[in-house]
A and B are shown apart, each in its own frame.
Chain A
Amino acid sequence: MNEQAGAPIVVCRELIKNFESKAETLHVLKGVDFELSPGSSCSIMGSSGSGKSTLLSILGGLERFDSGEVTVGNYALHQLAEKALPQFRSKVVGFVFQFHYLLKDFTAIENVALPAYMMGIPRKEAWAKAKNLLEKVGMADRIGHFPSELSGGERQRTAIARALINDPLVVLADEPTGNLDAANAAAVEELLYGLPSLSGATIVLATHDPALAESADRRFMLFDGKLSAT
């Protein structure tokens, strides 16, 4: 990580996001303020529809917002042009979804290597890096397997390795254990919270699960469009 220790890696100031429809305007985020330090972990809890996924999408450059300031790494998203977003997504953030969404026709190592290969990293180098990451997440013996040949936990660990391939500053995990049984959920939880020491990445985790949220360095609750520390 090339961020200076102490300087926040994520900064949100007065973040407001509304969804307009013909019938009404939905005020999802009504001025969210928070900061995260490099290499830390934080969890965001909240009921369904509270705006957790929207907040993660904004942090990941997938969603635009109405007002406020959001800075992730050196990227000020409120000023960033649409064209620069793909580069931001590939270099600064990594996503882990509730469902693994691995590409079914690609092996575990290919799924992990793809984001790097797409960035222009030579194939050999991308594959070597993917292999190394899969080893780190305990998938050394499954690198040549297709998603259909992996268990739910293995798929999610592969998805985590994929999120880490481009050395992101921030990993955004949206309900990462929501689709797993207790044993696999525990393994994935351990892996996610170990990421700061494994790769130096900051973890932002949205979840319903209080047990999963509890292990984070900082815990937030998103309620009525406002984020508060718990």
Chain B
Amino acid sequence: MKFGSSFFIAARTLMGRPDKADISNRRSAAIPRKEKALSSSSGGMAGAILGIGISLVPLVLVLIVSDGMIQGITRRYMETKTYHLQVAVPDGMDDKESQVGIKAIQSLPGVTSAFLEKNGSGVAVSASSSGAVMLRAIDPAFFSDPGTKGFLTVDAGKIAPAGNRDIVIGSSLAATLKVKLGDSLTLITPNPETAANETAAADFSGYSPRLSFFKVSGIVSAGYRDLDALWAFITPEMGMRLLTYPSSATFFGVKVAHPYANSLGAAKNAIIERLGSVYPDWFDPYLARTWPEIEKSLYKSFGTTKSMLLFIMGIALIIAALNLGSALSTFVAEHSIEIAVLRSVGASDAALKTIFVGAGLITGSIGTVLGLTLGLLISWNVNYLISGLEWLVSAIDSIIAFASGHPSIPLKLLDPAYYLEKIPVSIDFSQIALIATLSVALSAVASLIPALKASRISVQELIRKM
């Protein structure tokens, strides 16, 4: 039996053809009861198709959204905080010496930019509040870097501090400190003289804070609260004055053309080799780290969460495939007479198995196409759907609040206070293709038992029952 005929029988038997109602009704009285029993509904198979389709929707959604969110967060971290690579350098490295290293790095193939950054901790005090800050003193070129500009948006004022008394802070920090553009801000940092003192470093006795006065010249946002709540940018010159070892760190931040590619490791090795010759006295390979090494625990946690979600959704897909197997078993039972007839006209066991595995493949394929289409549509529009849901729930809440007299609390699912402002959609079509293949393969496997049942239907028993 040829595959074409198996496919034809499987497809037609599964999909059926609507009988013309008028003729059916006219003739129905003449159809014997036993023959009517052949007219089984294809509801079970439609349910199986729907089951596979529906189980694929969350799987696709989780895959795309989690990938998008992970990439959204990692990209923000990379472009605005960790860089693609970091090379720790000695504290107090002067501008001339650092420029030699930066130029050496920038000349490497694949490297797009490199900056000297000095950062450390401090406390910011405003007229009405205070909070811990991460002070960052970076080369002004960092703020005009396309990667930085792509993820660091200006809420007010300027993106970079222009003068030594200017400070640019994160939007969440501004909210915590209750300051706006032009307001004064006092920074408390360790006094270099007392911090260097051995006694002060040991038990803080004799520790004297240093107060520095700034004016808020810009409020920026990286779109992620963890970052926006801590940052305060000052000029490199002020950084040299306020941030001193051991309460600060100095490093080269490096950006490359393809931070997600395997070539990142090669770029790291090239930097190690180059800086080894530029700074032979102090440079050591361990001082260079890639972005996955810098934020290892964060990215591992993202990866684990994604894997767990996919695992749960995968179980849903397996259940859907089992449902298909069950529907096909029912289908075989309902069509035992047709199967027996096919046997009587020469269909072999293998041919019958092919027909039913084919039926499983067709059902699985239709369900997969439906599920992937719906999943991709929802994923592409996930931000609109969330906004719509927020609007709807908030509207209902407003009505209830109006009726009860209680204040209304608008729903904010994607509150940047907790997560991203919007979900970045990232579609990896190779992963979608993998899901599709897995789904169709599972359908084929699930149809093996019904196919085996079909091949065991006996024509003799059918004849004896007649």
> Is the beta-carbon distance between B344 and A114 smaller than 8 angstroms?
no
Query: Bound complex: CA of A14 vs CA of B347, how far in Å?
Result: 29
User: Quick one: which of A61-111 are within 8 Å of B by CB?
Assistant: 62-63, 83, 86-87, 89-91, 94-95, 97-101, 103-106, 110
Pairwise interchain contact A148-B12, C-beta atoms closer than 8 A: no
User: Is B19 a contact of A149 with CB atoms below 8 Å?
Assistant: yes
- The reply to whether B32 and A101 form a contact with Cβ atoms under 8 Å apart is no
B346, A62: Cβ atoms closer than 8 Å: no
The residue of chain B having its C-beta at the shortest distance from the C-beta of A159 within the complex is B341
How far in angstroms is the closest Cβ of chain A from B93? 80
Q: Which of A63, A120, A152 contacts B460 (CB 8 A)?
A: A63
Q: B391 at the A/B interface (Cβ < 8 Å)? A: no
A53 to B464, Cβ gap below 8 A? yes
CA gap between A105 and B335 in the complex, in Å: 11
User: Contacting B23 at CB < 8 Å: which of A56, A89, A149?
Assistant: A149
A79–B86 Cα distance when bound, in Å, is 81
Determine the residue in chain B with the shortest Cβ distance to A62.
Answer: B459
Q: Is B9 an interface residue (CB 8 A)?
A: yes
Q: Are B346 and A99 in contact (CB-based, < 8 A)?
A: no
Contacts A118-B1, A123-B4, A149-B27 given; indicate if A62 touches B12 (C-beta within 8 A): no
**Residue on B nearest A153 in the bound complex, by CB:** B30
Complex Cα distance, B34 from A79, in Å, reads 37
Interface size on A, residues (CB 8 A): 44
Let me know if B344 and A95 touch, CB within 8 A: yes
B338 and A103 contact, CB distance less than 8 A? yes
- Asked whether, in the complex, the Cβ of B345 is within 8 Å of the Cβ of A105, the reply is no
Q: Tell me, rounded to whole Å, the shortest Cβ–Cβ distance linking A208 to chain B.
A: 13
Residue of A nearest to B31 (CB): A148
Contacts A103-B13, A120-B1, A148-B31; is A114 near B24 (CB within 8 Å)?
Answer: no
Residue of A56, A94, A148, A162 touching B24 (CB-CB under 8 A) = A148
Cβ of B351 within 8 Å of any chain A Cβ, yes or no, is: yes
Cβ B338 vs Cβ A53 within 8 A: no
Q: Which residues from chain A contact B32 at a C-beta distance below 8 Å?
A: 99, 152, 179
0/1 per residue, B1-33, Cβ < 8 Å to A? Answer: 110110011001101110110011001101110
**Considering only CB atoms, which chain A residue lies closest to B464 in the complex?**
A53
Whether a CB of chain A sits under 8 angstroms from the CB of B308 is: no
Does residue A166 face the partner (Cβ distance < 8 Å to B)? yes
CB distance from A165 to the nearest CB of B (A): 8
Contact with B along A16-54 (1 / 0, CB 8 A): 000000000000000000000000000000000000011
The residue from A90, A95, A106, A150 contacting B12, defined by CB atoms under 8 A apart: A106
Report how far A147 CA is from B27 CA in the complex, Å: 10
For A85, the closest partner residue in chain B by CB is B348
Measured CB to CB, the closest approach of chain B to A195, in angstroms, equals 17
Q: Across the interface, do A118 and B346 meet the contact criterion of CB distance under 8 Å?
A: yes
Smallest CB separation, A19 vs chain B (Å): 10
* Chain B at the A interface: SS class: helix
**CB neighbours of B20 from chain A (8 A):** 146, 149
Give min CB distance, B247 to chain A, whole Å: 80
Whether A119 and B1, one on each chain, are in contact in the complex, defined by CB atoms closer than 8 angstroms, is yes
Check A62 against B5 for contact (C-beta < 8 Å): no
Contact code string B344-382 (vs A, CB < 8 Å = 1, else 0): 111111010000000000000000000000000000000
Q: Within 8 Å of chain A (Cβ to Cβ): is B39?
A: yes
Which residues in chain A, 118-158, are within 8 Å of chain B measured between CB atoms?
118-120, 123, 145-146, 148-152
User: Does A57 reach chain B (CB closer than 8 Å)?
Assistant: yes
Given known A105-B16, A114-B5, A148-B24, contact A97–B463 (CB-CB < 8 A) = yes
Q: Is the C-beta of B466 less than 8 angstroms from some C-beta in chain A?
A: yes
Q: How far is the CA of A56 from the CA of B27 in the complex (A)?
A: 31
> Of residues A83, A87, A95, A174, which shows the largest number of chain B Cβ atoms within 10 Å of its Cβ?
A95
B28 contacts across to A, CB distance below 8 A: 148
With A98-B466, A104-B38, A151-B30 already in contact, the answer to whether A117 and B5 are too (CB < 8 A) is yes
Query: Is A115 part of the binding interface, using a Cβ–Cβ cutoff of 8 Å?
Result: yes
Check if B102 is an interface residue, CB within 8 A of chain A.
no
**In the complex the two chains form, what is the Cα distance from A14 to B102 in whole Å?**
102
Known: A57-B460, A123-B4. A148 touches B347 (CB 8 A): no
A186 to B12, CA, bound (A): 33
Highest count of chain A CB atoms <10 Å: which of B9, B23, B35: B35
Pairwise interchain contact B5-A148, C-beta atoms closer than 8 A: no
Verify A148–B27 contact, CB threshold 8 A: yes
- Is A225's CB within 8 Å of the partner chain B? no
A149 to B351, CA, bound (A): 29
Instruction: Give the docked Cα–Cα distance between A44 and B61 (Å).
Output: 67
Say yes or no: B31 contacts A103, CB within 8 Å: no
Instruction: Say how far B120's CB is from chain A's closest CB, in angstroms.
Output: 77
- With a cutoff of 8 Å between Cβ atoms, the chain A residues found around residue B459 in the complex are 57, 62
A101–B338 CA distance with the chains assembled, in angstroms: 7
In whole Å, how far is B447's beta carbon from the nearest beta carbon of chain A? Answer: 18
CB <8 Å contact, A152 and B344: no
Confirm or deny: B294 has a beta carbon within 8 angstroms of a beta carbon on chain A.
no
How distant is the Cα of A100 from the Cα of B2 in the complex, in angstroms?
A: 25
Task: Report 20 cross-chain contacts, Cβ distance below 8 Å, ordered by A residue.
Answer: A53-B464, A57-B460, A97-B463, A99-B466, A101-B340, A104-B39, A105-B12, A105-B13, A105-B15, A114-B9, A114-B342, A115-B346, A118-B5, A119-B1, A120-B1, A120-B5, A149-B20, A149-B24, A151-B27, A175-B466
The interface of chain B, by Cβ under 8 A from chain A, is 1-2, 4-5, 8-9, 12-13, 15-17, 19-20, 23-24, 27-28, 30-32, 34-35, 38-39, 337-338, 340-349, 351, 459-460, 463-464, 466
- Residues of A participating in the B interface, judged by any CB pair closer than 8 Å: 53-54, 56-57, 60, 62-63, 83, 86-87, 89-91, 94-95, 97-101, 103-106, 110, 114-115, 117-120, 123, 145-146, 148-152, 162, 166, 174-175, 179
User: Closest 9 interchain pairs by CB?
Assistant: A90-B346, A86-B348, A115-B345, A105-B16, A149-B23, A117-B5, A101-B341, A89-B346, A148-B19
Seed contacts A86-B346, A95-B344, A149-B24; 16 additional CB < 8 Å A-B pairs = A57-B459, A62-B460, A63-B460, A87-B348, A89-B344, A89-B346, A90-B346, A97-B463, A101-B38, A105-B17, A114-B5, A114-B342, A115-B345, A119-B346, A120-B1, A148-B19
